[in-house]
Amino acid sequence: MPETDVRELLKAGLHFGHQTRRWNPRMGRYIWGERDGIHIIDLMQTQKLLDDAREFATEVAAKGGTVLFVGTKKQARDGVKEWAERCGMPFVNQRWLGGLLTNFQTISKRIDRLHELIELKEEGQLDLLPTKERMSMEAELEKLTYNLGGVRDMKRLPDAVVVIDIKTETIGLAEAKRLRIPIIALVDSNVDPTPVSHPIPGNDDAIRSCDLVIRSLGEAIETAATNYREAEAKRRAEEEERRRQEEEARRKREETERARKEQDQLEAAQAKAEAAAKAQAAESGAPATPAEAPAPAQRPQAPAEATPPGSAGAEGEGS
């Protein structure tokens, strides 16, 4: 990651602090000196701390973390919105809604309501309502968009918060500190940098200085977040391909198993049919039950001797 150029910081006027009578003594270690009643911030420390903050923000974004950009003062509004949208991160650039972090469960319900109204408007359902009800819903949509439009895609608490001018964002700073969320902040000579995890000493009243810090952090976050999303998309594609291959292999195994079972059933049916056919054939080819023995054949009688002629007459005559 390229280091920030001190000449670029100097050109943006990041070294100008507030008047010496308005300084905070806890910022003393970041002040180089004074000139014409104005404190001059040490840009060498600013350069090092800005690079440290960029490195930390890169680590958060590289792990898929969420970085919330906060800057409601007019010098930072446009830059906060532009770079948060480029990074795909939530932002607050109009008004910090109390409880946005500490009461996020309730805020989530209002975000759901915002999505509901946006969907009704996009589908043209609001135009079908009576005039009074339609105007009421449009007013509610406008109010929710003003307060929560930048965080409508924030599904959970952020992993880090980038704040421009912690004196203006006292409520947001207190909520992040209470939840122990790391804070990256641009701190001027009139604020207390103690609650800030990664302070960046510099002028928070000039548009150019605010834009420089936001752009420097935004570029680092955008690069890391883009790389993470690409890697995540690639991982999901590989995971889907692996699941598809596993599903295809499982389906092939099931088809093979089903075909094998069908073949086994067919073979078993064929074997059963063959066995039944053999049994039936065996039954039809068995010897008949023994019948009664036939009567013995009569022996042929000898033919009677022929009587001589006249013998019969003689016998009659003799009687």
Q: What is the mean pLDDT of residues 5-30?
A: 86
Q: Is the pLDDT of residue 210 over 70?
A: yes
Confidence category of residue 285, pLDDT binned at 50, 70, 90 = low
* pLDDT score of 298 more than 70: no
Contacts of 318 (CB under 8 A, 6+ apart): none
| Confidence tier at 293 by pLDDT (50, 70, 90) | very low
pLDDT tens sequence across 137-192:
999 999 999 999 999 999 999 999 999 989 999 999 999 999 999 999 999 988 99
CA distance 110 to 148: 8
| Interval 17-41 mean pLDDT | 87
Q: What integer is the mean pLDDT of 20-46? A: 88
pLDDT of 237 > 70? The answer is yes
- State both tokens at 73: 């003062």
Is the confidence at residue 278, as pLDDT, over 70?
A: yes
In this prediction, residue 67 has a pLDDT band, given cuts at 50, 70 and 90, of very high
Q: Estimate to the nearest angstrom the gap between the alpha carbon of 284 and the chain centroid.
A: 74
- Amino acid making up residue 261: K
Using CA atoms, how far apart are residues 61 and 225, in angstroms rounded to an integer? 5
Asked whether the predicted pLDDT for residue 316 surpasses 80, the reply is no
76 neighbors 47 (Cβ within 8 angstroms): no
- Cα(161)–Cα(150) distance, integer angstroms: 14
> What's the pLDDT score for residue 23?
86
pTM over 0.85: no
Residue 223: pLDDT band (50, 70, 90) is very high
